[in-house]
Structure 1
């Protein structure tokens, strides 16, 4: 059946009209505690019908029938399966990424971190950039698509996440490697202009409140290690110090409560200067940046007198 035909059938079936199905879905999702029930109901319908959400809203004023399988998909969302797992897509800045089980779904807050990396890459000219712990590849893809002159690398340790990242990054020419961010890219020391990271940073005992994250995001992408969750973030900072050229730029996402500790740790590290905190779209301290300090100049030893 063509898409045109799928929108013109009778609405007398068990599903009723699209408008009726949307109302039922919105009520079901709201009762399940889904934060944006009407939006999610429209996006699920758009996914099944191959339409835009705007077109779905317009069709809801007609007698177009509800799409087949819609009620089952809504029930999965009501069980708090992530919307992106059901549609297979996540939107990040100007991109549509492929996502699913086994990979962290990118959040809007991370778009601020990507912007900081993009701005730094543009300032650096033909920049060499790496995303440590790339997950779905969201940040690396954003840099590669918005700074086409940049040479972009990405590092991911999880084989499942790596597979999703490969799907998203291969068309953009990003150099993706299956490595640990703590030891990544040997042989590339002091060669990158920008290092960006959204590492795991949740403390061990801080289970996320949202079922979508707690039950479906991989633990490997969530927990940063240690009581404060800072083991992997600070490992990312050490790797950044190793990989960056003098004057290179490092920016890292973290929890808002970690901002003071990360700023203090970077400021106390002689590798860094110009440590700054950055706020996300909700005006929360979501990222910290620093500049790789030039290595101290060593004085040539005095010539021994004979």
Structure 2
């Protein structure tokens, strides 16, 4: 096909995705065409021939995306920091904003290695696809990384993504995980479910209809899992160890009851309770240090 036809395919795909309510129609249209052609998005301009079969396959994927099936389910891949993860039905698709929480955990692990001259022990609770755990292994050589996931399908994806990396991956509930590591962990990191049950209707279709509900919803105020995390982190961390957890932007320090930071501050077990904003300036994750 000619260059005009390629542009025409992208234009058609963009229109269909915009009509379907997709938030980033141009980006997704290009990603899907690159996926069908087996090239990078940046290399699309170099493509000078598209078969009818490829065009049909592309338009079929565009139709599924316009119906709000997640882009990453269609391509089978999610990019997170510097790693590539396999994703699909049954696992929460990692979001770009979670990269900030992973970066914080990486910085803390590097700090332990530098200041104490030993391998940092890191626990990733609610690992999902294994995104945070894999990023830590990738960016902190020598870190001793442990991860747990309750959902069976998500655990299978994590098993695939963490295979051969030396991560201690377990299938279980974060509320009872890693008793054998009690008081010996340097960093606990978690992207827990945090959507209030009453917010069901406001959740994007990609998440509500395709992400596991176990990874999304957490009680009437969305903080049930955060409370469990606070208790488990207090048991796992060594004195002075740190915990970091993502939350909804409405659950920052200005949220109802003080939001996620108040879950930690109210117990008296934690020092340096801080909230952090994402690149858009929205409250995004809370960190705290176990009092010595």
Structure-1-length-normalised TM-score = 0.88
Residue 185 in structure 1 maps to residue 183 in structure 2: no
Aligned to 1:117: 105
Distance 1:243 1:51 in 2: 44
Q: How does 1:223-234 map to 2 (within 5 A)?
A: 223-225=217-219, 227-234=220-227
Distance 1:286 1:266 in 2: 15
Contact (CA 8 Å) 1:103, 1:164: kept in 2 or not?
Answer: yes
Aligned to 1:169: 162
Contact (CA 8 Å) 2:226, 2:263: kept in 1 or not?
Answer: no
More helix by share: 2
2:5 to 2, 7, 17: 17
Aligned to 2:19: 31
2:234 to 233, 238, 241: 241
Aligned to 1:282: 280
Residue 217 in structure 1 maps to residue 211 in structure 2: yes
SS, match of residue 266 in structure 1: helix
Residue 43 in structure 1 maps to residue 31 in structure 2: yes
Residue deviations 1:201-257 (CA, integer Å, cap 9, x gap)? 1111112431101111111100012x1011111101110110000100100000121
SS, match of residue 148 in structure 1: coil
Distance 1:282 1:132 in 2: 26
Distance 1:157 1:265 in 2: 22
Aligned to 1:85: 73
Residue 54 in structure 1 maps to residue 42 in structure 2: yes
Distance 1:264 1:34 in 2: 35
Contact (CA 8 Å) 1:42, 1:57: kept in 2 or not?
Answer: no
1:152 to 145, 149, 152: 145
Distance 1:26 1:209 in 2: 23
Residue deviations 1:253-279 (CA, integer Å, cap 9, x gap)? 001211222212311212211101111
1:253 to 243, 246, 256: 246
Please state how far the C-alpha of 1:64 moved relative to its aligned partner. Answer: 4.2
Structure-2-length-normalised TM-score = 0.92
- When the two chains are superposed, the root-mean-square deviation of aligned CA atoms in Å is 1.5
Contact (CA 8 Å) 1:18, 1:65: kept in 2 or not?
Answer: no
Count residues in correspondence: 278
Question: Mind listing any 5+ residue stretches in structure 1 that lack a counterpart?
Answer: 1-10, 295-306
Contact (CA 8 Å) 1:17, 1:63: kept in 2 or not?
Answer: no
2:85 to 79, 92, 97: 97
Distance 2:165 2:282 in 1: 31
